[in-house]
Structure 1
Amino acid sequence: MAQQPPPEKLGQLNRLDALSDKDLKKVVDKGQHVRLPANWSLIWEKTPADKAYLIVEGEVSVRKNKQEVARLGPGDVIGEMAIVGHKLRSASVVSLTPVEVIHFTKEGLTELLDEVPAFGEALRGTTSDRLGQPQD
């Protein structure tokens, strides 16, 4: 396991800039800090939703039926839509560059959403942007 990123580093990500240092620490502590190489499959389409990732550094490709539909980077969360919606994965995610991520289990993400409402707001913003919908 890689050394955890300092909470201040997460606070520099535009999606998380509204979180307090205390909340950022909870986000870091709830997950596992991981560094992965380029061309690594993080999530596979049509599989159970058992994990999610917060991208700290790097870029990933979101693919449906092997076709890229989006590129995501620092501050984006991947894998959360299937967890929240209790569905199978709707897309695969592959790293385009080496990535630094915070890995959350399904249970950890669910607890974090309850414990840190501002993180839930940031996550909903990411999801809304991806779906092209206005944020509630």
Structure 2
Amino acid sequence: MKALVSHGRLVNVPARWSLMAEYTPADKAYILLEGEVVIRKDNQDIAELGPGSFLGEMALVNHKLRSASVFALTPIRALHFTDEAIAELTAENPHFSSALQKAAEERAARDAG
């Protein structure tokens, strides 16, 4: 956990703010600490997530464009990670790398139906 915090930056995001946009390159990820977000794909709300959720990992892990947009429903507090920070974390900690890959696979399977 200490490594995560040292590689991330604490951010506060107002309600209705866009954290990520569908079909854009992946350059960041977040761990949601407080608040709620909505995930939108093709202008349809597909999920709401709260504290403890990892956001943006799928596109970073898979090296693809964002598959959905993320908007703050409420003011949020999150740890923000650049793609470089995620690369450092995965290189330094094989357990983090496999956990991140597993989370991305589980989210992809859930989103597929």
TM-score, with structure 1 as normaliser: 0.73
Amino acid at match of 2:44: Q
For the Cα contact (< 8 Å) 1:77–1:123, is it kept in 2?
Answer: no
Aligned length: 110
Q: Secondary structure at the match of 2:60?
A: helix
Instruction: Determine the C-alpha separation between the residues in 1 that align with 2:74 and 2:99.
Output: 24
Q: Which structure dedicates a bigger proportion of its chain to strand?
A: 2
Q: Which runs of 5+ in 1 are unaligned?
A: 1-23
Q: Which amino acid aligns with 1:47?
A: T
Letter in 2 for 1:112: L
| Aligned counterparts, 1:80-119, within 5 A | 80-119=57-96
Deviation at 1:125, TM superposition (A): 4.6
Alignment of 1:18-37 (within 5 A): 24-37=1-14
Deviation at 1:82, TM superposition (A): 0.6
Residue matched to 1:6: none
**Structure-2 change in CA distance of 1:49 and 1:58 (3 Å):** same
Q: Which amino acid aligns with 2:100?
A: L
The one-letter code matched in structure 2 to 1:100 is R
Q: Of 51, 70, 81, which aligns to 1:74?
A: 51
The whole-number CA distance in structure 1 between the counterparts of 2:106 and 2:79 is 20
1:72-97 deviations in whole A, cap 9, x for unaligned?
Answer: 11111111111111111110000111
Q: Write the letter of the residue equivalent to 1:82.
A: A
Greater relative contact order (Cα < 8 A, sep 6+):
2
Aligned-residue sequence identity (percent) comes to 52
